[in-house]
Amino acid sequence: MAPIVGSEDYAKDLSKDPSLSGGFFDSLKHEFILPDETLIYRIVERTYEKADYEKIAIVYELAFESPAFIEEHINELRESSLSDDEIIRQVMSFQMENEERSIIVARFAYDSFNFIDHFQQQASGVQIRGAYVSPEKSGVGLAGQIYRQFALLYGHLVCDNTQTEFGAALWAGTVRDVVGRVDIYDCSAQQYVEELGDLATGIKGYIPWSLATAATINPNSLKMSLWKRYPFEIKSCHHIVLIVSR
């Protein structure tokens, strides 16, 4: 349940639709727009009956007839100080969406997650179990904005127990900047540890990440280009997760 960076058994290919047995149904559809952009995205969440993950969200970049008109109208609505939700409602009311030209830009797998909140009350959210962003959209902040939507939709978003180096760096930086305060949580003790601060450590110095699952892994053998300026533990941090709340 906690961040282990660089584990060799990490294999969660969401670049294509997963091959799963059993049925599924669309359990949620949600559109959002990025700050200072005129692109509209749609999250389509599927709940599966038999799968490694409870839910998989497919993220589409929507296409429209007369895109120049749509872009101009979005800019005009922004000048009217309308909320993003209202802008999207008005644009979608034109019924100019071209579904055949919409493209998939990301997929995320996640499960339900229960924990004890700051007020010692039972709380729930979703835990990211796998993530994919298309190469064309990688590095432009889309993943952080999608995580923000998950936090708004579910109240609490929890990191995976095994992360790529990119995923760990995303939580250490982008999620804090775009989504909000990130807290370190101990699943064994069922309590918050402290807030995640700069340089991927808690504000009091707690280190929430470990490097792989065993001390036999040689840190010098891993190409940790994104992570080289951040500290990590050799001992397992499997009982630690990061939680961001709306």
> pLDDT confidence of 13, banded at 50, 70, 90?
low
Rounded distance between C-alpha atoms, residue 114 and residue 127, angstroms: 9
For 149-200, what is each residue's pLDDT tens digit?
Answer: 999 999 999 999 888 778 888 999 999 999 999 999 999 999 999 999 988 8
For 75-125, what is each residue's pLDDT tens digit?
Answer: 999 999 899 999 999 999 999 999 999 999 999 999 999 999 999 999 999
Average pLDDT, stretch 24-43? 93
H or E, element range at 88: helix 84-93
Cα 139 to Cα 165, 166, 208, distances in angstroms: 14, 10, 24
Alpha helix positions (H), the chain? 67-79, 84-93, 142-154, 165-169, 175-178
Average pLDDT, stretch 221-233? 63
Predicted pLDDT at 6: 42
What does the block give as tokens for 107?
A: 């997929």
Predicted pLDDT at 69: 96
Is 235 or 153 the better-scoring residue by pLDDT?
153
> Quick check: 235 and 141 in contact, CB under 8 A?
no
Predicted pLDDT at 153: 97
Q: Return the SS3 of 108.
A: strand
Predicted pLDDT at 3: 44
CB atoms under 10 Å from CB of 73, counted, come to 18
